[in-house]
């Protein structure tokens, strides 16, 4: 199917309401779980190593619930092109927007930029839409461009629907330095595995030696911006809550690696509170910690 035709199909499917989509998602989840397993070995292997204390029944429930949440996210993203601001506000609730607004757009003084760090938990795409629609300050979001040009264009349109400005991760630092004092919220999802020449920091995460990329920490150290973690949780099917949790103060003198370690602890706490809502089908632990050095 060529890109223009695919775009038309996406726009058609986005008109279908979620109460119609969710039974479809349940069927797709069952197929991926039981009939035509989608990366079943990766999902099960990751969960077994991260939660060695689970018995087989607990593990199987988590696998089942992972596929259900993954399928729900697919149809929710499909529907995103037609979400109204009112529907989005009902489905993604920002618990404490004032904590960010008071830094970026205070009433009694000049505003300052903030860093917002998040993880690939639950529906992180809706999280970005909710932030840009509801917190009342400019939102810029770092992202890694997709290899497929058509998919890249469509996802940028979707993510920018409510005003977010998308910035390639490779261009983020340069953009920050050019607009260092511009009051805005800069969102970074930083729990993916480092690639290529990215600097990395090794931590014990979910019972495993895990590499985290240091980009967010280096930005925080260079800019001295206040940083918050976005704690996201699914409250019911198609409904989410996001809360800003202080991660680091402006210019807080932290030892090397501590910013990343704090972030990793918050991500792990979030995952442990709802294990099926993290992308276990992703091969997160391809890198192996070297015997010497980090």
Q: Strands, E, within the chain: which ranges?
A: 92-94, 114-118, 139-143, 165-168, 185-189, 200-205, 208-213, 226-236, 239-248
What pLDDT digit, counting tens, does each position of 107-125 carry?
889 999 999 999 999 999 9
Confidence of residue 128 (pLDDT cuts 50, 70, 90): very high
Query: What distance, in Å, lies between the first and last C-alpha atoms of the chain?
Result: 45
Contact at 8 Å (CB) between 244 and 103?
no
Q: Is a pLDDT exceeding 80 seen at residue 140?
A: yes
Q: Indicate whether 192 belongs to any domain.
A: yes
Give this prediction's pTM: 0.94
Q: What is the pLDDT of residue 9?
A: 74
Q: Indicate whether 206 belongs to any domain.
A: yes
What pLDDT digit, counting tens, does each position of 67-114 carry?
999 999 999 999 999 999 999 999 999 999 999 999 999 988 999 999
What pLDDT digit, counting tens, does each position of 198-220 carry?
789 999 999 999 999 999 999 99
Q: Indicate whether 289 belongs to any domain.
A: no
Counted domains in the chain = 1
Q: Of 255, 257, 284, 268, whose CA–CA distance to 39 is shortest?
A: 284
Distance CA 292, CA 123 (A): 37
Q: Indicate whether 150 belongs to any domain.
A: yes
- Cβ-in-10-Å burial (0-12, 13-18, 19+) of 293 comes to exposed
**Full residue range of the structural domain in which residue 36 is found:** 3-277
**In the numeric block, which tokens belong to residue 272?**
């442990």
Q: What would the mean pLDDT of 53-57 be, rounded to a whole number? A: 98
* Percentage of the chain lying above the pLDDT 90 cut: 85
Q: Indicate whether 287 belongs to any domain.
A: no
Q: Indicate whether 209 belongs to any domain.
A: yes
Distance CA 216, CA 208 (A): 21
Q: Indicate whether 180 belongs to any domain.
A: yes
Phi-psi region of 293 (alpha: psi -120 to 50; beta: other; left: phi over 0): left
Q: What is the pLDDT of residue 212?
A: 97
């Amino acid at each position: 199917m060529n890109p223009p035709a695919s775009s038309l199909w996406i726009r058609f499917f986005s008109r279908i309401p979620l109460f119609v989509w969710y039974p479809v998602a349940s069927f797709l989840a069952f197929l991926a779980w039981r009939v035509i397993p989608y990366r079943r070995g990766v999902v099960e292997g990751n969960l077994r190593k991260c939660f060695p204390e689970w018995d087989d029944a607990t593990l199987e429930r988590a696998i089942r619930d992972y596929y259900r949440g993954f399928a729900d996210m697919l149809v929710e993203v499909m529907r995103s092109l037609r979400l109204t601001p009112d529907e989005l506000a009902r489905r993604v609730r920002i618990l404490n927007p004032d904590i960010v607004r008071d830094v970026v757009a205070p009433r009694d003084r000049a505003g300052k930029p903030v860093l917002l760090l998040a993880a690939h938990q639950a529906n992180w795409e809706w999280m970005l839409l909710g932030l840009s629609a509801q917190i009342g300050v400019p939102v810029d979001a770092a992202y890694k461009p997709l290899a497929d040009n058509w998919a890249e264009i469509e996802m940028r349109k979707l993510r920018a629907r409510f005003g977010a400005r998308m910035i390639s991760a490779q261009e983020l630092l340069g953009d920050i330095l050019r607009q260092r004092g511009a009051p805005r919220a800069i969102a970074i999802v930083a729990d993916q595995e480092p690639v290529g020449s990215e600097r990395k920091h090794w931590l014990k995460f979910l019972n495993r030696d895990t590499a985290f990329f240091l980009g967010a920490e280096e930005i925080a150290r260079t800019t001295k911006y206040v940083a918050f973690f976005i704690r996201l949780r699914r409250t019911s099917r198609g409904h989410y809550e996001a809360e800003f949790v202080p991660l680091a103060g402006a210019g807080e003198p932290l030892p090397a690696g501590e910013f990343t370690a704090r972030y990793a602890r918050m991500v792990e706490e979030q995952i442990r509170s709802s294990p099926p809502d993290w992308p276990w089908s992703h091969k997160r632990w391809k890198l192996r910690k070297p015997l010497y050095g980090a």
